[in-house]
Structure 1
Amino acid sequence: MGDAVFELLVRERLAAQGSMPAHILHKKAVKKVCAVAQARGYDRVEPLLTDEELGILKRGRNANSTHVPRSCDPSDYRKATGVEALFGYLYLKGDLQRLETLYERMEDDGTEED
């Protein structure tokens, strides 16, 4: 659930930037949804989390993964799994405002997007 919620947030933001060819939209979305980008976001939101949210994040991160893609660092993959678990939890809980807040923090890296 969390991976779908995260990807939906990414694609909504990209679509709101204005009209662009579908292949460009897709390439930009893939860059933001990948494990490396989600791992960076993990580090940005972790200090902001409540104890309950932190527990969900860590439970997702520590879940046993039977397969880590070869192109991905296992640490990044685990962090990305934690982010997806947290986003899925917040979505199912109905806390969309908190979901938006954390997503915005993940996106805010102090640089301008290309």
Structure 2
Amino acid sequence: MQREELTRDPKSTNPLVLAFLGDATYAHCVRYHLIARGLVKPNQLHKEANRYVSAKAQAHILLTLLPTLTEEEQAVVRRGRNAKSGSVAKNADIIDYRHATAFEALIGYLYLNGHEDRLAEIVEQAFAIVEGVRNG
């Protein structure tokens, strides 16, 4: 699939729009990762995917990765965390929800900017963090 040309600079994109895209991008990566690991039962896939995409998991990922992020990435994270969302967190406290939104904004930003290598690196680190929680 060929990407369309962007009509605006990703740096000026609303952080909630970045999070919207980041949510879908990260969920896609998680689902592919789980299927590649051999999980094929839909119920098992859903349950396992939730371990990666829950607000609590994404907040933990973000806080673990924060010291390794560039200044530009940290600025995106701040914008995402501080964005005023019209929705209420379900099954998560507000702090985890804001950190999860910030993580998703970062993923969306990297995707929109075409930073595929950095996006892959962040996603791989996210998987290692989630799997380390279970294994370590």
TM-score w.r.t. the length of structure 1 is: 0.91
Give the direction of change, closer, same or farther, for the CA distance of 1:13–1:70 in structure 2 (3 Å limit): closer
* Structure 1, gaps ≥5 residues long: none
Q: Report the Cα offset of residue 19 of structure 1.
A: 4.2
* Higher deviation after alignment, 20-29 or 66-75: 66-75
The letter of the residue matching 2:119 is L
Within the candidate set 19, 35, 41, 1:21 is matched to 41
SS in 2 for 1:101: helix
- Taking the aligned partners of 2:107 and 2:65, their CA distance within structure 1 comes to 12
Percent identical among aligned pairs is 42
Corresponding position of 1:100: 120
After superposition, give the CA deviation of every residue in 1:69-92 in whole Å (9 maximum; x if it has no partner).
242110000000000000000001
Q: 2:54 aligns with which of 26, 34, 37?
A: 34
Instruction: Give the equivalent residue in structure 2 for 1:8.
Output: 28
What is the DSSP-based 3-state SS (H/G/I as helix, E as strand, rest coil) of the residue aligned with 1:108? helix
1:45 is the counterpart of 2:41: no
1:76 equivalent to 2:107? Answer no
Q: Residue 87 of structure 2: SS of its match in structure 1?
A: coil
So what's the TM-score if we normalise by structure 2? 0.77
Name the CA shift for 1:52/1:14 in 2 (closer, same or farther; >3 Å): same
Equivalenced residues, count: 113
**Kept in 2: contact 1:2–1:84 (CA 8 A):** yes
Counterpart-to-counterpart distance in 1, 2:39 and 2:30: 15
